[in-house]
């Protein structure tokens, strides 16, 4: 049962570090249950770490040039708007269909009941972010909807079809492609905040980490989300 649970997490896009955290928590739960029942309970006994086929790909940050090629289309699909929202705000693909017009405010957007039941606010800092919100609102209102009216899988499929059309093969996995957009957001906004606040990129990351839906004290994720910022300060 536990092996199936871990395998399912991997199949749904969890990376190596996240899977290790799940196993670590299960080990702690085993100790707690053993102490309570006065018996030996080993929930992770025999559980093997699944192979992470796309770990290296998941470390890819989408290049701005690739992103511009992707969105340079006359497509009327709401998935195109979803891709823009992910790039501009670092949204998870599961968060895009949930975003409502009423979640968009003058200076920030609200992400409600996301991963782990957590909610957060993401500031609107740039002109391109405001343009993405304007496009999102216009499409939803013109279709008498409170959101884009699409599913996460539709966005994944559209993005991968679009990349195939224009010959981009760097981000071929469905989970990897959206994750590459989130990483692009992370690097871009870390640099923006560092410049505006005259602070280090590590300090800026503390804020961006929360915008992405992670805790403020997740220093270990900085090198994962911002690999290109490790070379300079």
Q: pLDDT over 70 for what percent of the chain?
A: 87
Q: pLDDT over 90 for what percent of the chain?
A: 64
Stretch 211-222: mean pLDDT, rounded?
89
Taking the C-alpha atoms of residue 199 and residue 144, their distance in angstroms, rounded to an integer, is 44
What are the tens digits of pLDDT across the range 68-87? 999 999 999 999 999 999 99
Residue 68 token pair: 């511009």
> Per DSSP, what are the bridge partners of residue 122?
109
Residue 66 main-chain phi, psi, to 5 deg: -65, -45
Q: What is the pLDDT of residue 24?
A: 81
**Is pLDDT above 70 for 15?**
no
Taking the C-alpha atoms of residue 96 and residue 16, their distance in angstroms, rounded to an integer, is 24
Domains, in order of start, for the chain: 2-52 (no CATH), 58-229 (1.10.443.10)
Q: What is the pLDDT of residue 37?
A: 80
CA–CA–CA angle 185, 77, 15 (5° rounding): 40
Beta-strand (E) ranges in 75-160?
108-111, 120-123
Mean pLDDT is lowest, of 57-61, 157-161, 171-175, for 171-175
Taking the C-alpha atoms of residue 31 and residue 144, their distance in angstroms, rounded to an integer, is 53
Cβ atoms of 221 and 179 closer than 8 Å? no
| Model pTM score | 0.76
Which residues does 106 contact at the CB level (< 8 Å), separation at least 6?
124
């Amino acid at each position: 049962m536990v092996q199936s649970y871990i395998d399912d997490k991997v199949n749904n896009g969890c990376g190596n570090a996240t899977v290790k955290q799940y196993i670590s928590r299960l080990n702690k739960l085993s100790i707690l249950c053993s102490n309570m029942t006065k018996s030996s309970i080993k929930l992770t006994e025999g559980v093997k770490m699944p192979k992470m086929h796309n770990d290296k790909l998941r470390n890819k940050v989408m290049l701005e040039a690739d992103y511009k090629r992707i969105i340079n289309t006359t497509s009327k699909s709401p998935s195109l708007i979803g891709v823009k929202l992910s790039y501009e705000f670092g949204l998870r693909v599961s968060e895009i269909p949930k975003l409502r017009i009423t979640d968009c405010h003058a200076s920030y957007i609200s992400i409600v009941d996301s991963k782990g039941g957590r909610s957060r606010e993401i500031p609107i800092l740039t002109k391109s972010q405001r343009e993405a919100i304007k496009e999102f609102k216009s499409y939803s209102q013109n279709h008498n909807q409170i959101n884009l009216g699409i599913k996460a899988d539709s966005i994944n499929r559209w993005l991968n079809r679009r990349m195939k059309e224009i010959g981009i093969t760097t981000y071929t996995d469905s989970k990897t492609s959206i994750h590459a957009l989130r990483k692009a957001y992370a690097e871009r906004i870390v640099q923006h905040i560092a410049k505006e606040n005259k602070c280090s990129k590590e300090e800026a990351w503390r804020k961006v980490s929360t915008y992405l839906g992670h805790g403020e004290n997740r220093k270990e994720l900085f090198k994962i989300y911002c690999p290109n910022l490790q070379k300079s300060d």
